[in-house]
A and B are shown apart, each in its own frame.
Chain A
Amino acid sequence: MREEALIPHIGVVTEIRQDTPDVKTFRVVTPEGEKPFTHIPGQCAMLSVPGIGEAMFSITSSPTVAAYLEFSIKKCGCVTDWLHQMEPGQQITIRGPYGNGFPVEGDLLGKDLLFIAGGIGLAPLRSVINYVRANRQRYGSVRIVYGSRSKDDLVDYREILEEWQTDESLEVYLTVDREQPEWDGHVGFVPSYVTELQPDPSQTVLMCGPPVMIKFTLAALKELGFADTRIYTTMELRMKCGVGKCGRCNIGSKYVCKDGPVFTFDQLGELPDEY
């Protein structure tokens, strides 16, 4: 029988980390204990719980991690509810990788990078950030602006504190929506924080977050002089097949699962505003 993209492989969830009250990070390997496949930062995979359903998630670990894939998943539907209540050792199914990913070996090489993330939007960018950290000399400056509802909602906060903030080659700017005890950092929404930071428009932006954050941050970046061609984002649409056939993630003549999920804003400008 020939290859069939829709038939998944078995994945074993070896570790589950409670990241925030509604986000857990799952480590997945093959039954033989190996990494299921290699990927490009920004690519996605279809995970399924047989009998419950299948859904597309961005791969949050860096390709430079040789032993496993990681997925940071917010609890917000049938499949994610089930994933959140399972225990380590559980088998699931996995297929992928899907999509184009960020051009880490192309356009981004040698560039000054400005990462902007909101909430669970850090998940796909974490893959790029850690890839860049592992290949640090091949990229320019790296600035990360990350905001969330509260300190407890910052995904991968421990890694941010212990690895990113201690890494002298990165600048990390965190913000939370509202004042709270035990938080002496910045308070305010991501778009206004970006304006406050006055980033140089020569940087290349990689942005992911809730639609409302994207909308206002994009406006702020344009105000600062950033060109649409220098702003990358990654899209999320409902998907069933992952290979450009089922029709769900179709926007204009593109399919987000195979032509995306990573687009620059000038590419998105060519598409109907239906995302």
Chain B
Amino acid sequence: MRKLSLVSLPLLFAAIDERMPLYLPVRSDGRVEFTRWMGGQDIAFTGNTDRSAKDFFFPQSEELMRLRREGKRVEVLDTRREAEDFVLFGVRPCDVKSFDILDSVFLAGPVDSYYATRREHGVVVSLACHLPSSTCFCSAFGIDAADPAGDVAAWLAGDTLYLRANTEKGERWLAAYDTLTEPSDENAIADLQQIRDKVSALPLAKLNTAVFGGDKLATFFDLPDWESLSVACLGCGTCTFVCPTCQCYDIVDFYTGHGIQRLRCWDSCMYSDFTKMAHGNPRTTQRERFRQRFMHKLVYYPAEHEGVFGCVGCGRCLRKCPQALHIAKVMRTLGKED
């Protein structure tokens, strides 16, 4: 484990960004988003970003290839490039866990090369959650906010930043800044229990996940509650876009004026045309689309991933849904909690 005094943090950030682009949560115009470091910014060490960090590995839209079609001839141009090294600093424990879930989809065979190259070149430095929000419930999904994963884990305690490498990649990365940090005792961070106490006192910490799981299709699929839960859903897709684990996508061709760009864009199972095809739509109303999103996170995903849920309790859908129809409400209603 390494440590450095907070007064030296700008030096560390400058040194990191000199080697590879550094992105970290920056507060600006009332929002917090991962932003390229440039010094003098209002860095958000508490709370979480408005949008998750999934864009860095799975961008909202990206070029898959270019194509040409002239008369009877067609050309496919592989425009892929190896990603460049970058660092995400201050990723919260919930969002770090979401990368495992994205990995389970994109890195399962056949490997998605677009995602894989960014994942290989990105260094994830997590930050323990010293001040979780009232909308957080990561502990319900077994995530320890006091001891996050990631290539390197970081803690803020008093006027000191502690850094511990979790992976080989993290170890190599951290060693590059040895001159700016000093060795630290593994047990130097005294407030781990304090973080855990704060998290377990959160209003949603006791959200019951035990009633859900891969074998619960028959228990929940036909419940009449889906009707009352979904009736106010606008199908706007905000939940999907801010969700760190939602990864459905669309592929569309776009005329650039010089050829055709084949793009991959985020999509949402909450949209009415998501499953629409020539012979009809298997999910005809918002009730079915709403049910799909939550059943996928709480039942379908765990069925194929040894019981791991497709939610990390980041609470973004609680904060962002214009109709307050979030996963905590769904879980409480289906689980018959008050």
Listed in ascending order, the chain A residues whose CB lies under 8 Å from chain B are 1-10, 48-54, 76-77, 80, 87, 89-93, 210-211, 236-238, 240-241, 243-248, 250, 252-253, 270-272, 274-275
Contact = CB atoms under 8 A, between A and B. Distances in A.
B141 interface: no
B76 A272 contact: no
Given A7-B78, A50-B68, A253-B214, A274 B253 contact: no
23 contacts: A3-B110, A3-B111, A10-B74, A50-B74, A51-B67, A52-B253, A76-B278, A76-B279, A93-B76, A237-B277, A237-B282, A238-B275, A243-B110, A244-B108, A245-B105, A246-B251, A248-B267, A250-B292, A252-B300, A253-B299, A253-B303, A253-B304, A274-B282
A274 B276 CA distance: 12
B76 A248 contact: no
A30 to B, nearest CB: 12
A238 B271 CA distance: 14
Given A50-B68, A50-B253, A250 B296 contact: yes
Contacts of A80: 278
B197 interface: no
B20 interface: no
Contacts of A5: 110, 112
B217 A272 contact: yes
Contact of A250 (B72, B278, B280, B300): B300
Nearest to B302: A253
Contacts of B283: 274
B248 interface: yes
A270 B215 CA distance: 10
Nearest to A253: B303
Contacts of B258: none
B249 A6 contact: no
Interface residues of B, number: 56
Nearest to B249: A246
Contacts of B116: 2
Contacts of A246: 248-251, 267
A193 B169 CA distance: 66
A245 B106 contact: yes
Contact of A4 (B113, B253, B279): B113
A77 B23 CA distance: 43
B278 A248 contact: no
B74 A91 contact: yes
A83 B116 CA distance: 34
Contacts of A238: 274-277
Contacts of A51: 67, 69, 253, 255, 260
Nearest to A243: B110
Given A50-B69, A250-B300, A253-B300, 6 more contacts: A1-B113, A10-B75, A51-B253, A77-B277, A80-B278, A253-B301
A-B pairs with the 8 shortest C-beta distances? A247-B248, A50-B67, A253-B303, A91-B74, A76-B278, A238-B277, A50-B69, A5-B110
A272 B295 CA distance: 10
Nearest to B253: A51
Contacts of B255: 51
A257 B126 CA distance: 36
Interface string B255-296: 100001010100101000011111110110000100010011
